[in-house]
Chain A
Amino acid sequence: MSASKKELKTLYYYWQLILFSLKYFLIDISTATIFWLSFTVVGLILRAFFNYLTGSDEFGLPVGPIVGLHIGYVVVASLALIGAILANTAFRQQSTALMIRNMFSRILDLPGSRPLPIKEDGKAMSSGEVVSTFRDDTTEMVWAVTALEDTIGLGIAAIISLVIMLRINVLITIGTVAPLLLIFVIVELLGPLIKKYRKASRKATSQVTGLIADMFNGTQTIKVSSAENRIVDHFRRINEGRRKAMLRDKVLTTLVTALSHGTVQIGLGLILLLAAKSMYAGEFTIGDFALFAAYIWPLTEAMHMASRLITLYKQTSVSIQRMEQMMQGLPPGEPVAPNPVYIFGDLPKLSHVPKTNEHRLEELSVRNLSFEYAIENNTTAGIYDISFDLPRGSFTVITGRIGVGKTTLLKVLLGLLPTQSGKILWNGELVKEPHAFLVPPRCAYTAQVPRLFSETVQDNILLGLPHEKFDLHTAIRTAVLDKDISDMEADLKTMVGPRGIRLSGGQIQRTAAARMFVRQAELLVFDDLSSALDVKTEQQLWQEVFSKRGEDIAPTCLVVSHRRTVLHQADKIIVLKDGRISDQGTIEELLSRSQEMQNLYYGEE
């Protein structure tokens, strides 16, 4: 992207964020300006004080009014500062809420198995790295915008101060201010380098966060293998890398800061140098000197803030890039698109789409469905040219060896992976967006490795469904979970812990099944449900599912399994081999003619 386009984009982001919380931005800017103007007032007060005492002809005031003015400006400035801080806080909270909302919402709209962006090295981002963006990039973005408020406020005060100085003595003013401007320019030139170092340090931070996420998601594995010390040694190495990157970043930023801060003293020294002659000649009073000395700080601070503003502005292009990466495919600017965030008012009502005849399934057809993915460079794997039909009420089983593509097939069908080629037809009509269409009440799914969340059992099953409108108890019974729940101390309200760690593997699987059942979907898709269940429990579950077979309300089922009981119950079995359909038919047909089916059924020789 050309440099100017990048500039426009950054400005666009600033603009959008300002518009979104305009009220707070305006309050912040106006109160900030009032606050900073107090410094201009101080200079004038000092000048009047010294002029009076030294008996100069210039304007002076006795001590009484001086003290009164002083108290006055402090009261006004205090009130202004309070206003500025509070408005600033509101602005920052609402702005970060907006960006987090937009990025999160987008991720949830993407195919569920590949929602996170791919990095430069071709790998998907981890959740830890994404959280890093959500946390740090939004903060940086907002810092950059809110820096505007102070900079403009102080800028106005600085300009007024400058005018006052020029009216007193042009030469000294220019002689003092010009070198300060020079420093400002030098800082500008360091821009690209700052950006480069900042990018590197953010990357190093992501790596650290990524490993921390790994360590605590995989604690049991680590403990069981006694790998605690070893993984922490690796962690130390990564931390060290981050230290180096951070130092480089910091040193540069510090040099810039030192240059800026040093200017106050240097400025004062320059005044001394230039004013020597004029003071000697009586043209420049001590009152004037006091004013000039008092104004150095706001002037340099204004320049410092301006250069910081520019640096932040440049750095935000890194944050913007990372946020847009999160949006994957949407037009630029989406992270700051205005959307309600509800943090100041009431939460939105949760509405729910009831199931109607419109959702009824007569037949699902898949035609030439293909999906290929690269496994490291030259090799690819995937599913190719898959076609089959699922008539209403049928029970179809997909089977095959591991890695052959069964799960991939289900995921592509449901839009968890994006379709690459082929068609899906629902009641004869093309499904354009499986991930939005093939969801409850049309379609529900249980993964092979289901996830639970650190909520109650009830919430894990309902996930937002209104419990008055949905039959929780039937779903639990069908999933053979009822006894387990009544055994739990808090019944349905039992908290399951992060990733459902307080439940056994079988309980997790059945809770996920209940989650699927409660949605009363037309099509149920099960990916190898039985791997965590013992045969008896599994049989009970299938019994419940089969019990309604033949009735019109019975759901259509698509199941991945290699259980013999399930294979025998199937209306049709689809055998996958090397990503393609090797054969389709009933178990008897397949056992008589398919070598692959025989291998799978009896185990390999």
Chain B
Amino acid sequence: MNKKTSNSLKQYWQLLVDYLAPHKGQVTILSIASIFNIILKLVNPQIVRYFLDSAEQAAPLEKLTTAAGLFIGFALLNQGIQVLVIYLGENIAWLATNALRADLALHCLKLDMSFHKRYKPGELIERLDGDVTQLANFFSQLVIQLGSNLLLILGILALLWAQDWRIGLSITLAMLIGLLILDWLTKRTIPRFQAVREVEATLFGFLEEWLNGTEEIQTSGAKPYIMRRLFDVMRSRWKKTLHAMRLHVLVAIMPMNVFMLAYIAAHVLGSTLFRSSEITIGALYVIFYYIDVLKGPVWEIRRQIEDLQRATASINRITELLAEQPSILDGPGLPDLPGPLRVNFDRVTFQYEDDPDTNILHDIHFTLQPGKTLGLLGRTGSGKTTLTKLILRLHDPANGEIQIGTSTGALYDLRQANQAELRKQIAMVTQDVQIFQVSVRQNLTLFDESISDERILQVIEQIGLGDWFHALPDGLDTSLEAGGSGLSAGESQLLAFGRVFLHNPGLVILDEASSRLDPATESRIDKAIVELLENRTGIIIAHRLSTVQRADEIMILQDGQIAEHGSRSDLVANPDSLFSNLLQTGLEETLV
């Protein structure tokens, strides 16, 4: 067995053990029931042998009838237990795959943003739902069913050997040849089926993405182009599927051909043995009967192997996903940091990993004073948003260090922080608001059940969504649509503010947060923003003078470097400062 196979087997086994362990009780009952059924299947044919031999020897009628009755009774029992087996199997499958699905979701959510740039939501849906569901059968049925089928086969072969060693041998050989060929074929089909699942993920990722882009398609007149792209993807799907099927058909015809060998052995050897009176006619018939019973498990094994092929492809993809590690690792954790936060950038440089030659940020060196608000300005693409992402540890700097601390205490390297704890202390509002298909309450608290309803209602009024809220039929329980289409862009923005107000962060980041609000609405929640920034450190990225008027300090970024940094009053007073110049260019209005 080569290393690759033993690695795959180890993966299966580990996955199996981890997710079935909590359901030991059900698994045990399932196993016992399956074994009991095997025994029934082995015993019943002997009743037929007895029947046929008795009939040939003209035994009394009652004996025949009793045998028949017993046979039927055992058959019914067999079926009843089978239902139990399938029920338990299904239950275990769902319990186990649901656990896996949730674990995978959590794992993916904890991976960094560089991972999420590589994988489209549609593809992750295919993995979390499509691939994990493929495993359902693997968990519940594969081991138990495969095991019991193997036992059944062994039992039958043993009985055949007991009948006559030549028959036992030839049929065993037939089975072995069959299994070897099947194994060889299976290995070759696995990668082909994996390719099929991948192209299916591409197809559904494509559909999901463009279903969200119907406005763009319509207003750009791009429908023929998109349809052609669809045809292209479906064509690849056909090609890959055909490629897999070409090999799969050989797997499909294998059992039939293998049994042909077994039957031929039974015909030739059986008739010889009967002729020389070494076996009775009943025994001869039962040889054929057992071969027939063998078909069931072999067919089952074939199906299980097919499922295993698909499941293997899925397991590989899931293991790949689980192997992805976040590059942002939690440190030992920081002590409690109450009050407004102080942030220090110490010669920080940053590039994206897939584009290491482009410096997004270069030699950033400054201190964010606690309790003060910093207005961060610069052309789009100058690195402002990236800077804030570094404070949140959505990325780590390439060079240099970022430090955080309280207003009077020590400063700690951000890399020492635990990400979840850190982000509880910092709040960010961006332009891009994600509304979830859950209730208003859950959208505002983001599933934090410790926040009381009174507090939520208070905040709703505070952010100016009172009117909108009172029109809802189920109040906080009203569920919002996907994509937030029940809310206008401005209302979504207000909701994003609501999320922040429910926190108690030491640092607040507003990234173009008011850009979708018209000046009249913005001044409405202005008061709330002022309250929010009081006794907290703040960073505001905006284009409007009115917003930045609130800032204590101003920093201007150009091409990833600090072009200017100082207190707002100083910069305004100095006519040569970049800030003053910017104030001039914008005519009356607002600029940076």
Closest residue of chain A to B435 (Cβ to Cβ) is A218
Closest residue of chain A to B289 (Cβ to Cβ) is A293
Q: Kindly list chain B residues whose C-beta atoms are within 8 Å of the C-beta of A77.
A: 256
* Distance from A561 Cβ to chain B, minimum over Cβ atoms (Å): 9
Closest residue of chain A to B383 (Cβ to Cβ) is A504
Contact A277 B87 (CB under 8 A): no
Contact B491 A403 (CB under 8 A): yes
Q: Kindly list chain A residues whose C-beta atoms are within 8 Å of the C-beta of B17.
A: none
Contact B241 A93 (CB under 8 A): yes
Apart from A89-B242, A276-B64, A376-B472, list 8 A-B contacts with CB within 8 A.
Answer: A82-B253, A93-B234, A108-B226, A126-B437, A272-B68, A498-B120, A535-B543, A563-B589
How distant is the Cα of A17 from the Cα of B226 in the complex, in angstroms?
24
Interface positions, chain B 351-366, Cβ under 8 Å from A, are: 352, 355, 357-358
- The 8 Å CB contact of B124, one of A54, A216, A257, A341, is A216
Contact B385 A505 (CB under 8 A): yes
Closest residue of chain B to A568 (Cβ to Cβ) is B587
Judged by a CB distance under 8 angstroms, whether B317 is at the interface is no
Contact A286 B56 (CB under 8 A): yes
How distant is the Cα of A107 from the Cα of B424 in the complex, in angstroms?
41
Stretch in A127-135, A312-320, A550-558 touching the partner: A127-135
Contact A487 B94 (CB under 8 A): no
Judged by a CB distance under 8 angstroms, whether A36 is at the interface is no
Contact B490 A402 (CB under 8 A): yes
Judged by a CB distance under 8 angstroms, whether A366 is at the interface is no
Interface positions, chain B 303-360, Cβ under 8 Å from A, are: 352, 355, 357-358
- The 8 Å CB contact of B101, one of A63, A239, A289, is A239
Judged by a CB distance under 8 angstroms, whether A164 is at the interface is no
Contact B215 A447 (CB under 8 A): yes
Contact B518 A402 (CB under 8 A): yes
Contact A400 B518 (CB under 8 A): yes
- The 8 Å CB contact of A81, one of B242, B252, B394, B588, is B252
Contact A254 B256 (CB under 8 A): no
How distant is the Cα of A375 from the Cα of B438 in the complex, in angstroms?
16
Q: Kindly list chain A residues whose C-beta atoms are within 8 Å of the C-beta of B257.
A: 74, 78
- Write the B238-282 contact mask toward A (1 if CB under 8 angstroms, else 0): 100110011011001100110010011001100100110000010
Interface positions, chain B 490-538, Cβ under 8 Å from A, are: 490-491, 493, 499, 503, 512, 515-524
A562-B519 contact given A100-B207, A375-B486, CB 8 Å threshold: yes
Closest residue of chain A to B101 (Cβ to Cβ) is A239
Q: Kindly list chain A residues whose C-beta atoms are within 8 Å of the C-beta of B590.
A: 535, 564
Contact A131 B117 (CB under 8 A): no
Contact B225 A290 (CB under 8 A): no
How distant is the Cα of A516 from the Cα of B380 in the complex, in angstroms?
20
Summarize B's interface: helix, strand, loop or mixed.
Answer: helix
Contact B65 A603 (CB under 8 A): no
Judged by a CB distance under 8 angstroms, whether B154 is at the interface is no
- The 8 Å CB contact of A280, one of B64, B446, B582, is B64
- The 8 Å CB contact of B381, one of A217, A243, A246, A504, is A504
Q: Kindly list chain B residues whose C-beta atoms are within 8 Å of the C-beta of A11.
A: none
Contact A217 B434 (CB under 8 A): yes
Closest residue of chain B to A240 (Cβ to Cβ) is B98
Closest residue of chain B to A103 (Cβ to Cβ) is B207
Contact B109 A232 (CB under 8 A): yes
- Write the B414-441 contact mask toward A (1 if CB under 8 angstroms, else 0): 0000011101100110111110111000
Stretch in B24-32, B144-152, B158-166, B476-484 touching the partner: B476-484
Judged by a CB distance under 8 angstroms, whether A533 is at the interface is yes
Judged by a CB distance under 8 angstroms, whether B21 is at the interface is no
Stretch in A148-156, A423-431, A448-456 touching the partner: A448-456
Contact B219 A444 (CB under 8 A): yes
A108-B217 contact given A93-B238, A401-B520, A498-B121, CB 8 Å threshold: yes
Contact B102 A532 (CB under 8 A): no
Q: Kindly list chain A residues whose C-beta atoms are within 8 Å of the C-beta of B493.
A: 402
- Write the A405-417 contact mask toward B (1 if CB under 8 angstroms, else 0): 0010000001110
How distant is the Cα of A209 from the Cα of B482 in the complex, in angstroms?
12
How distant is the Cα of A406 from the Cα of B515 in the complex, in angstroms?
15
Contact A449 B432 (CB under 8 A): yes
Contact A126 B482 (CB under 8 A): yes
Q: Kindly list chain A residues whose C-beta atoms are within 8 Å of the C-beta of B232.
A: 347
Judged by a CB distance under 8 angstroms, whether B67 is at the interface is yes
Interface positions, chain B 78-101, Cβ under 8 Å from A, are: 78-80, 82-83, 86-87, 90-91, 94-95, 98, 101
Can you list 9 A-B pairs, Cβ within 8 angstroms, ordered by A?
A214-B437, A223-B423, A451-B212, A451-B213, A498-B121, A516-B219, A534-B377, A534-B591, A537-B379
Closest residue of chain A to B219 (Cβ to Cβ) is A445
Summarize A's interface: helix, strand, loop or mixed.
Answer: helix
A209-B125 contact given A49-B267, A54-B281, CB 8 Å threshold: yes
Stretch in B6-14, B44-52, B172-180, B562-570 touching the partner: B44-52
Contact B231 A402 (CB under 8 A): no
- Write the A39-81 contact mask toward B (1 if CB under 8 angstroms, else 0): 0000000100110011000000001001100110010011001
How distant is the Cα of A135 from the Cα of B201 in the complex, in angstroms?
10
Q: Kindly list chain A residues whose C-beta atoms are within 8 Å of the C-beta of B75.
A: 262, 265-266, 268-269
Contact A251 B379 (CB under 8 A): no
Contact A239 B102 (CB under 8 A): yes
* Distance from B90 Cβ to chain A, minimum over Cβ atoms (Å): 5
Judged by a CB distance under 8 angstroms, whether A219 is at the interface is yes
Stretch in A2-10, A112-120, A184-192 touching the partner: A112-120
Judged by a CB distance under 8 angstroms, whether B285 is at the interface is yes
Closest residue of chain A to B236 (Cβ to Cβ) is A343
Contact A232 B105 (CB under 8 A): yes
- Of all A-B residue pairs in the complex, the 4 with the closest CB atoms, nearest first, are A464-B225, A506-B380, A402-B490, A126-B482
Judged by a CB distance under 8 angstroms, whether A591 is at the interface is no
Closest residue of chain B to A438 (Cβ to Cβ) is B219
Judged by a CB distance under 8 angstroms, whether B58 is at the interface is yes
Q: Kindly list chain A residues whose C-beta atoms are within 8 Å of the C-beta of B120.
A: 454, 498
How distant is the Cα of A572 from the Cα of B219 in the complex, in angstroms?
24
- The 8 Å CB contact of B222, one of A399, A463, A487, is A463
How distant is the Cα of A348 from the Cα of B231 in the complex, in angstroms?
9
How distant is the Cα of A270 from the Cα of B72 in the complex, in angstroms?
8
* Distance from A355 Cβ to chain B, minimum over Cβ atoms (Å): 11
Interface positions, chain B 450-476, Cβ under 8 Å from A, are: 468, 471-474
Q: Kindly list chain B residues whose C-beta atoms are within 8 Å of the C-beta of A209.
A: 125, 129
Judged by a CB distance under 8 angstroms, whether A250 is at the interface is yes
Contact A435 B102 (CB under 8 A): no
* Distance from B58 Cβ to chain A, minimum over Cβ atoms (Å): 7
Which of A50, A215, A350, A440 is packed against the most chain B CB atoms within 10 Å? A215
- Write the A91-126 contact mask toward B (1 if CB under 8 angstroms, else 0): 001100100110011011111110110000001111
- The 8 Å CB contact of B234, one of A341, A399, A512, A530, is A341
- The 8 Å CB contact of A108, one of B122, B223, B248, B430, is B223
Judged by a CB distance under 8 angstroms, whether A586 is at the interface is no
Contact A225 B423 (CB under 8 A): yes
Judged by a CB distance under 8 angstroms, whether A165 is at the interface is no
Contact B72 A489 (CB under 8 A): no
Interface positions, chain A 301-334, Cβ under 8 Å from B, are: none
Judged by a CB distance under 8 angstroms, whether A247 is at the interface is yes
- The 8 Å CB contact of B55, one of A268, A279, A341, is A279
How distant is the Cα of A599 from the Cα of B518 in the complex, in angstroms?
10
Interface positions, chain A 555-605, Cβ under 8 Å from B, are: 562-565, 599-604
* Distance from A300 Cβ to chain B, minimum over Cβ atoms (Å): 12
Q: Kindly list chain A residues whose C-beta atoms are within 8 Å of the C-beta of B69.
A: 269, 273
Q: Kindly list chain A residues whose C-beta atoms are within 8 Å of the C-beta of B449.
A: 230
Judged by a CB distance under 8 angstroms, whether A18 is at the interface is no
Q: Kindly list chain B residues whose C-beta atoms are within 8 Å of the C-beta of A487.
A: 358, 381
Judged by a CB distance under 8 angstroms, whether B378 is at the interface is yes
- Write the B174-209 contact mask toward A (1 if CB under 8 angstroms, else 0): 000000000000000000000000000000100111
A66-B499 contact given A227-B448, A276-B68, A440-B221, CB 8 Å threshold: no
Judged by a CB distance under 8 angstroms, whether A210 is at the interface is yes
Interface positions, chain B 101-128, Cβ under 8 Å from A, are: 101-102, 105-106, 108-110, 113, 116-122, 124-125, 128
How distant is the Cα of A276 from the Cα of B52 in the complex, in angstroms?
9
